[in-house]
A and B are shown apart, each in its own frame.
Chain A
Amino acid sequence: MTTENDIYNFAYLDEQTKKMIRRAIFKAIAIPGYQVPFASREMPMPYGWGTGGIQVTATILCPSDRLKVIDQGSDDTTNAVSIRRFFAKTANVETTTKTEQATIIQTRHRIPETALREDQTLVYQVPIPEPLRFLEPREVETRKMHALEEYGLMHVKLYEDISRHGAIATTYAYPTQVNGRYMTDPSPIPKFDNPKMDQMPALQLFGAGREKRIYAIPPYTDVRSLDFEDHPFEVQQWESACALCGDDQSFLDEVILDDRGERMFVCSDSHHCQTRQEQGFHGSQMPENHAGGLQEKHDG
């Protein structure tokens, strides 16, 4: 019986490629935070759409897995939807938007608000894996700096922030040191998510397709965000809570409502927000027809 899927190997990539990528992943796990070069393949979508993350996901995906894909925390953006469909089609795996039900979560720019478990794997899409690139354009030099743990330059970036803005203004791709050794770019997640990486029970894998690098943070690994003694690391805070679910602990996106500049803040993690709404939490702008019934059950 030949189906359309049999034209391709399971999860698109051929077995040799998967072997090669698995070797890179094993090495990456063995040396937390170290960028392992790999022979990145052409994927049926352009660089910048998450080809690194897709290759990692394709390699670790098994038929029994349940996949969730998020982009900026949301399950329903074009990027998330097309990647989810890609794997539904090429691997025929179950997909979900529920964080707690997923075994593999591929993400761009966020870590879900729901705490991850040991039996889950988080796959990041990474545009520029080299945290030192900002100040040192030469690859040969940055590799040496990693090898010799010469990381003073990373603090130059933070120094520059403080001198310009009075505080560390880097809000995303905030540099981290993994396992007390390698300076590692957390991908462009908001620094709000950095603390979640530290001692996370789930395995974290990072794939950069264009730059051909894979790196990893194994479960329960120390991830420290850089800072100065007199300017300690802090996560951003909002004055308002989510306008839909009322959460004042989650990462919020600003949404412009009309041409007059009306705006509201909503959870960036769409599944988290929806779950809370289903549990009866509500924010200031929750549509009334939704609010009505649920409010009575769960208010307070």
Chain B
Amino acid sequence: MQRIGVFVCWCGSNIAATVDVKKVAEELKSEPGVVYSADYQYMCSENGQNLIKSAIKDYSLTGIVVCSCSPRMHEATFRKTASEAGINPYMVEIANIREQCSWIHKDMATATQKAIILGRAAVAKVNLNTPLTEGESPVVKRALVIGGGIAGIQTALDIADAGYKVDIVEKKPTIGGKMAQLDKTFPTLDCAACILTPKMVEAAQHENITLYTYSEVEEVKGYVGNFDVKIRKKARYVNENLCTGCGECTSKCPSRKGLNEFNMGLDGRGAIYIPFAQAIPNVPVIDTAQCIKFKTGKCGLCQMNCPSKAVDFSQKDEFIDEKYGAIVVATGFDIITLENYEEYGYSMYKDVVTSLEFERLMNAAGPSKGHLERPSDHKQPKTIVFVQCVGSRDTTGCGKEYCSKICCMYTAKHAMLTREKYPDTEVYVFYIDVRTPGKNFDEFYRRAVEQYGVHYIKGMVGKVYDDGQGHLMVRGSDLLANEQLTIKADMVVLAAATKADESARKLGTMLTASMDTNDFFTEAHPKLRPVESPTAGVFLSGFCQGPKDIPETVAQAGAAAAKVIGLLAKNKLKSNPCVARADSLICSGCSNCEKVCPFGAITYAETDVNDGTVREKRRVAVVNEAVCKGCGACTVACPSGAMDLKGFTNKQIFAEVDAICRQTGE
């Protein structure tokens, strides 16, 4: 029989304001096994912990129940307290009467009753607890970064600089991500390529970094410190080792109908192409959907003209299996498609463009060589209307409810750059709010208005239509002047909402990393653990966690790297002793647990079984405790109940449910 001590925490007024803590302590005193019960203002304080320690000694306690906050907050604290006082740390149970009780209830009587029931369940469980000992598992000193944009590159560089091996997996043929497509960056207006490409080169040349471009993560197994990842390296049809990047093939390709993704489809490219001049690796890739050789079997001009015989039409996807200690997600963002926003005429008028297209139109390496011209007739626009919040902060269900965060600043940038280069161009910006919280951000926006004379109009655009003479008529409302207005424009630029990259959802499922409804990855704690996923060993870098500009992305990338370094610096991780075990007397060896185990922790062995009446050799399950993560999937898959989870046995769970359901007569 256990001797159990119950410790009810007030958490200041957090719990005590809604739960009658004295009554909880009093009621739990009469639960089976309970020999001591007390309440205290802050159980996690040193005094509170000393109260627990002395009670353990004075009353010879064998187990304790702390009724307090979520076990995520202080379970570790109280386990340490218990072990300092001489009892096994796994003889501690937490009854969460704060997050799951006091914080969500208003009525003291019901909250108190619920707290008592939660405490009762914890007592019932401790009665069946047994001491457990932690094991150890090794850490693979290698990190995987998924996504090769600025976030992924920065995280990889920081980890690599600390001396650990890092692999970057990028699904596109080159690293660089969205930042490579940008022209200038706010608020300093330095050229994006000028600050990004040195980092790309550094990543490519770093002795600790391996790049897997045009590659995708196919499968993730394992757990923190020991992930097994399968990477699919898609066939480029160009041998990376032989190719010198001379570009001969790309200029000889007769198929020119491909849309240049890097320039947002504003110009064409060959079927064999290098995404952009500073691409890394500087190795072309063949678009098989476009390539004449792949479609008809005839052509092969690129292969014939390649001086280093690098073009290889028979190349196949390759699979790379690698082990990692940590995984960083840096999958970045994309912009939404605009089919829900027909009122802006994006699909009808060539001169209605997205901001990302506008970046390319302004860029010296863009389709117009940096000369701002409108796509329809290549004339320089004299009046440009920018529309902000196209799909952002949209509660109608057509777009995204969140603020995309970056649009206010880049629109100010676009407006400013246009006025700087072409002072005779009139620039209008329709906005709901201008949000400029950031270092030197508001100053930047004010410069656009005050110094560059950009016309900011508070209001939304209702319609964009053609006046039949080559002009776009933009009808909107000016809420400050309280009037409707129509602007005759040559070009309209839409600040389309951002969204999580499409690959994120699939990856999130693979990593069992939680995501929000917008497919942004969730952080372990919104304030205190912003770069960690709740899934141990998975870290978040950049836009994949939520909208971010470049400075924030880089800062977060560094933070994620620091967390990874902290993990990889450890030689061993303490492993959870709450792992599965199989009862060989009951096990039928059916293999269901093996099939359901996500970690491959279960094998089978012919074992001598002797239950007193039957003696035989049987095939029974054996759990590899170092690999088992205690998820419990096997315990529910096992039809005979032979699989049990230490620390969470079926009996303990039954006991908890029983305690909760027990009629109290009240």
Q: Do chains A and B interact in one complex?
A: no
B: residues with CB less than 8 A from A are none
A: residues with CB less than 8 A from B are none
